[in-house]
Amino acid sequence: MKKAKKSGGSSKEKQNSLLELLKQQGLLTYDTLEKGEFPKFSIPSRSVSNIVYDSKLRQYILGKNAALRSSKNTSQLRSFTQLMWLAFFANRLTKEKKSSTLRDVYYSSQAFAIDFEDQSESDNIIVDLEAVLARPREDFHVFPEERSSVFGDLNIEYTVPGYEGKKMNLSNHPDGYAIGPSLTSAELLDTSAEVVIAIEKGGLFTRFVEEQVDKKFKAIIVDTGGQAPRSTRTLLKRLHEELSLPVVILTDGDVYGEHIAMVIKSGSANAAHLRELTVPDAKWVGVWATDIEKYKLPTIPMTESDIKRCYDLQKDPRYQEGIWKKELEVFLKIKRKAELEAFSKYGLTNITDKYLPHKLEVAKSL
């Protein structure tokens, strides 16, 4: 069994450092008031001109521009107040260990007579607070609605109220364990696994469990359920960092599949203020455009929107080299795409018997 490194990924450490950050922010406000000045926030700018791709970190980051949001400026007073309230509410959620969602926060504001036009206005302020604290909203207990699942020989220890100290091995329920706030905030203890396999679809996830991919390949299997939810990406990062497990990703053989893998690897431009949602070492192992010909897979023609998406991604700095560039080119050349289930043409277990072991080998040289 491989033991986890302590990396501050569990909720206990996160919670304490988050509360400390909020406290500092509060003290700053008090100090400013005592000096007879107007309190303000300094918010890293998330405007397009301040988002740059960092090739060393292998993700988008924010540049050095920051904007002041001051209570002195009447045009900023509204959003200043919203942000101040949110910091207060985040502190409370974190202390009381209550989970919430973006939508909950929007409606909760009404209890405090804080005015948001609609949910998108409060969503924006939540991202502002993420940027101010440089911490993802899950750290202050705002969690995504979506749930994907995980399965494998991984021991965890919960930190959520009512379950503190309880341990769980995630290999006993073959349909998988939902990845929600409890799993996201659990301590990762140890594992016998040597690799994490993230797969795009529930049906294939079940196939993988059924064919004992976890045992045969010493793998933890993660169902991303299409585009991986933030909680799932956070778990993938923690499995990689705390347990030093390589992460490989299997998607449908199309431009959307390629981008699902890229988002797991390097996040998205609108989360450029965060570092917790990326696994820069994650490897996309298939289904590649080049696999379509190689394995003579049944295909579907690409739609106009698939083709447009390819051209869009070709302008993205992350698609300028290696397989990312090459596979986009091949998709555009063949104008066909293939689903993961296409391997069923060769029998239901062909994907786990032949394709997967080959691709796990290939991953080592990527």
**What are the residues binding a second copy (CB under 8 A)?**
98-101, 103-104, 106-108, 110-111, 143-147, 149, 158, 160-163, 166, 168, 172-183, 201-203, 206-207, 210, 212, 223, 225, 298, 339, 341-349
The least distance separating a second copy from the CB of residue 108, rounded to whole angstroms, comes to: 5
Nearer to a second copy, 5 or 173 (CB): 173
Nearer to a second copy, 26 or 202 (CB): 202
Report the alpha-carbon distance of residue 304 to residue 25 in Å, rounded.
49
The least distance separating a second copy from the CB of residue 90, rounded to whole angstroms, comes to: 13
- 289: closest CA among 248, 334, 344, 249? 334
Report the alpha-carbon distance of residue 165 to residue 13 in Å, rounded.
15
Radius of gyration of the chain (CA): 22
Q: Does residue 40 contact residue 216 with C-beta atoms inside 8 Å? A: no
Nearer to a second copy, 142 or 328 (CB): 142
**C-beta neighbour count of 322 within 10 angstroms:** 11
Which residues touch 111 (CB under 8 Å, ≥6 apart)?
Answer: none
Residue of 30, 106, 107, 295 with catalytic role: 107
- 342: closest CA among 259, 284, 263, 257? 257
Report the alpha-carbon distance of residue 105 to residue 94 in Å, rounded.
13
Pairing of strands 2-3, 40-44: unpaired
Which residues touch 109 (CB under 8 Å, ≥6 apart)?
Answer: 82, 85, 89, 115, 116, 122
Report the alpha-carbon distance of residue 146 to residue 123 in Å, rounded.
16
Q: Does residue 309 contact residue 256 with C-beta atoms inside 8 Å? A: yes
Q: Is 107 a catalytic residue?
A: yes
The least distance separating a second copy from the CB of residue 97, rounded to whole angstroms, comes to: 8
Nearer to a second copy, 182 or 278 (CB): 182
The least distance separating a second copy from the CB of residue 300, rounded to whole angstroms, comes to: 8
How far, in whole angstroms, is CA 286 from its chain's centroid?
A: 20
The least distance separating a second copy from the CB of residue 356, rounded to whole angstroms, comes to: 16
The least distance separating a second copy from the CB of residue 37, rounded to whole angstroms, comes to: 34
Report the alpha-carbon distance of residue 351 to residue 208 in Å, rounded.
9
Nearer to a second copy, 223 or 306 (CB): 223
Report the alpha-carbon distance of residue 327 to residue 320 in Å, rounded.
11
Nearer to a second copy, 179 or 262 (CB): 179
Residues marked as catalytic: 107
